[in-house]
Each structure stands twice: as structure tokens, then as C-alpha cells.
Structure 1
């Protein structure tokens, strides 16, 4: 990458996952934004002198010349151009949420003919899976409002955001499955469980009493030291490879106590070391115990 490379973000994902919202938000953040652009026009659009303004280009299955193979070939070709800094942003969403969104808006899915929306949505997600697998930035919008999505995008792409590696730490419950898009998952279930202490059961890993209980486990201090040491070794390497963000999941049984406490502690250590860190507590958000990502402040 050259010193004055132009940043180009290709935005895609299944219909209804928020691509149009993302394109509008990126335009507000200072990107030159064009939605639903044919793949064949993108190389011609990027020919010529390098522009200082970053560019966001929305591509989806409605494009007349769209194909996954052509998209990947285009991305590889553009990625080899030293005057461009290319990134693939993939917006994903759970199938049942997409079905509900199309039902609420009464819009026809672009792949739907006489088939039910569920079949068209499943067909599109299968079609786009290779793009999801090679994406640089993956955002799951299943639990996001448009405001939430805009806030998440502002964390990664907003004005004044210096280019580099952004780190996202997510606590979660193993009972509800792994967080989508996680680059690394760390199991905290071996630590002392506050759930079995009646006075702590209703609290969360953000409460001092729960933090103290978890920290009293004799393995806790070494665990934090080893995790932080590993991340401070890995993150610069991922940044050097051009990765734009790195997501780490910390899981426990219920996603309320141990994983939350560890997430907060690791985030504080990484932020103190100078990393741009954001936190999301999936299960606490689901239960209304903390604000959603649209209201969270990055560290």
C-alpha cells in the first residue's frame, strides 16, 4: 500500500441486511458513495489519479452483471493495485430476521418469483457465502436498528477514525451459540461462577462484587496476563497484514458474569496499551441490562 492510497470499501450482503443504510452512513462520514453499481463499471470508475476522498460502493444480486466469481476476481484485481486500499464490508443477518423485515416492509425479495420469501432469502445467503468468507469486515445486523448499524459503522469508518486495527470484544453465552464473525473465541467457564452465590446471581460482570468474586479465583490473574500477552503479540501482526478489525469473543455459561468481567478487564488493558477497543455484551443487551451497540461508546 502506498502512502497516499485511496480507500475503497465494497459493501455487500444479503438483501435486507442494511446495505442501503450503510451506504448512506458512509456518505455522511465523508465517503463518495455509490449504491447498486454494476461490477463492470467499478474498474473504470477507479481509473485515473488517486482521489483523496474515500469511496464506498454498494454491490448486490440485483446488479445485471453480478456473480460471486466475478466479484471475487474483481476484488483480487483491485487489491493488487498499490494506489488502492481495498476492503470488503459484508453485512449479514439471521434468516428469520430477514423474513420479518421483508414482511414488515411488504417489499418483494429481489430473487423471489413465485417462491416464498424464505426460499429466496436462503438462496441468496447460500449464493453470497463465499463473499462472507473472504470479507475483511463482517457486521451482523440481526439485532441492530438503523441507528445501531450507523453507530457500529461510525466506530470503524467514521470521520477522524485513523486507519488501523480496531478491536471488538464481545461477551456471550455458550448456550446461545458463538458470536458471528468472531476471529477468536476464549472460554471463561473454568473461572469461579458467581451464579452460585445468591447475592451475586442478579448482578453482572460489570458490578464490583462480581468482579471481585471472579478475580478471587487463583487462576484469574495468570489467565488475564496470558490472554493480554497473547493479544498484544497477535494484534500488531494482524494489523501488519492489513486487517481492519479483529473480533474476540469471551464466553461463559450464561454470558452474564465471568465473560462480562473478563471482557471489561481485557478491554481496559488493551485500551491502556493504545488499541482502539469497543465492547459488546450480547446477553446483557438481549435482557436490557446494558444499552445496545447504538448507544455504546467505543473506548
Structure 2
């Protein structure tokens, strides 16, 4: 049997409505220039996701895990056995637009030195998601990010983590694309390896992009294709404590792995900033959840 042109892997955890909307969009806007196979790996959601997907989208290949194994592990279930020329790791809270998949696959076909590509991501109201294209965080930019300076700064040294010098609608090489949409060449995947399973959730995308560069593959952003990204739809408005800890722990792991030895002093400054930001974030999240609960009970 001939291998498909594209395999799409979606990982879900208690986000049934987002998964169904994502799959519906892929059904309406599929890859038209070749065969596409869609996989869903469910992290033991227990919310009816598996049953509903099997009922409404029988062509989707469903893998139901018996535990919440995390984002990297779940993606690797499919990535390890993918046969297609290209594999797309896609978030469940994204939705395809017409022609986007064909545009991105054509981009990869035309650029054999590109190992990974990401597209333009917009929120439901059309607002551009600046995290669609990123520079790798440095100790200075990460510290600025955690201190809240990076979002307001025009300095590349302070704000470059979120906004490389590349326009929203432009195409060009970047350090990293967003984990919500990572289109990967299978030959490059065989060269670079799977997602690092030490990241339970968050930062695995930056790690992967970093390793693609280390292996000599280009990472490209193309603003000519668009996916809608609800951004946080699966996690809700306020991150659960486990997700919050995973995000900050992931940032710490990234620095230990790639910068700890060469910049020990700078890395320790970043670790301190990560710890302080985690404490603040957990407090804000707890307060926010209490406020939501109070408003719900007051209705």
C-alpha cells in the first residue's frame, strides 16, 4: 500500500468540542493534492471524545491511551510509526481554512532543505497570534518575558522571543514555530528524532525546533496559509496548577539542556525568574478560578 502524502496527529485531553470542530474543519478543508490520514491520540479524557469521534469521523484513526501521558508521549505514538512524506502535529483547538494544507505541503515540496514549517495562526476574532513565529529565548529575553517587559518592548534583545523581524504575511526562516501547527518532513524526523518526552506539556515545540536547527534543517514560517487557533481553549482561561507547573518546569528544562553549561550564571538568573513567575502565576490562577466559581454560584 502506498504511503499517504500527509499524516495529521492530534492529541486530545478533555476538549471534545474543540476536537470535533478541528476534525470538522479538516473534513471541509482537506489536503486536495494527495492522500491525508488523520490520527487522534486521546489522553484518557473520559469525556466521550473517543466515542464521539469514532461515531462522527469513522475515517479518523483513534488511539485511546489508558492515562494522561502528556503531549510529547501521545504525539510520539503516531510520529514513531508515520509513513507519510509529511507529518503535521496539530493542536485540537485549531481549525483549518481553505487551501492552507495544500499551500504548506507545496511549500515543503519546493524546499527540500526545510525540515519543519509553521503557518500563520489567528485567534477566532482574527487577531494574529504572535507566537506563530518565534526566536529562541535567551537568558535576557526570557527574563524580560517573565518580568512582563518583553511584551511592551520594541527591543529585539528584550522582545524578540515573541516577535522576530518577519511580517505576519511574510515567509522566512525563523528559530521556531508554534507547537499548535508543526509540519514536519519525515526524512528530517528520522534525522532529528521524536519529541523529548521529558516535557509533559509546553516547551517541547521549542526543544524540537532547536534540535532541527542543530541537525542542519531549516525551520520556516509562511504567512500565506492560515489556521485559526483558539489558543488555550483546551486548558481554559486559567491554567490548572499541573499545567502551570509543567509550563515553567519546561522552560527550566530547556535552559538546562541547551544553555546551562555555556551560561551558568545567566541560566541561574533565569531559573530564579521562572520560579518567581510560577509563584505569581499560581496565585493569580487560584484567584481567577475562585472568582469564576463565585460568579457562577451568584447567578
TM over 0.5: no
Larger Rg: 1
